[in-house]
Amino acid sequence: MYDIRPLDPKVWRGYLLDFTYTSDFYYDVKLVGNINCFRVTFEKKPFEQTFINRNVTNDRLFQPYWDDIIAYGMVENGTLIGVAETCVESWSNRLRVTEMWVDAAHRRMGLGRSLMDAVKERAVREKRRAVILETQSCNAGAIAFYLSQGFTLIGFDACCYTNTDLARREVRMEMGYFPGKAQGQS
């Protein structure tokens, strides 16, 4: 198995992560509301043709706008093959996963689970009340992974990326994991 260790910011700052992925499913977000009631549904549906996300421009490690960053990584022959970057939201006592990435050739081998275990261990060690992260409604594979790790939907933003996120089927979803609850505490 691969050794997971904190990455040195001096070495890995600015490292570009390739978040290219494909998805055959998306979560169709429907919003209905009036003065008396708001109702939101997320229904899993198949894409008419495979969706390809080619986001290779924005996701870099150790960005200056995050606080108290620790990135847990796996390196093979000098190449990063997986990383979970975390930062502290002090005001809310939460740990945010700012980046979660496994190289395409190394997926479905347990690396993501091992990285997420390191994140959860940090949250428990630092007595954080929640671990939170962002994903997109069109990334069904990531959503399935986060659900398998005990995360649940805690919110969304229907216009985070563009004013047409709903039509584009790329709605920002916030997911959360609650360490105390997972351990049988209230």
User: For position 54, which CATH number holds?
Assistant: 3.40.630.30
Q: Tell me the residue range of the domain where 139 lies.
A: 5-182
**Based on the structure, what is the number of domains in the chain?**
1
**What is the rounded average pLDDT of the residues 46-55?**
88
**What pLDDT does residue 184 have?**
46
Residue 63 banded pLDDT, cuts 50, 70, 90: very high
Judged against a pLDDT cut of 80, whether residue 166 lies above it is answered with: yes
Judged against a pLDDT cut of 80, whether residue 140 lies above it is answered with: yes
**Phi and psi at residue 40, to the nearest 5°:** -130, 135
**What is the rounded average pLDDT of the residues 79-107?**
95
**What pLDDT does residue 186 have?**
45
Max intra-chain CA distance, the chain: 59
**What pLDDT does residue 19 have?**
85
* Average pLDDT value for the chain: 92
**What pLDDT does residue 55 have?**
67
Cβ atoms < 10 Å from Cβ of 185:
8
d(CA 104, CA 41): 31
**What pLDDT does residue 56 have?**
58
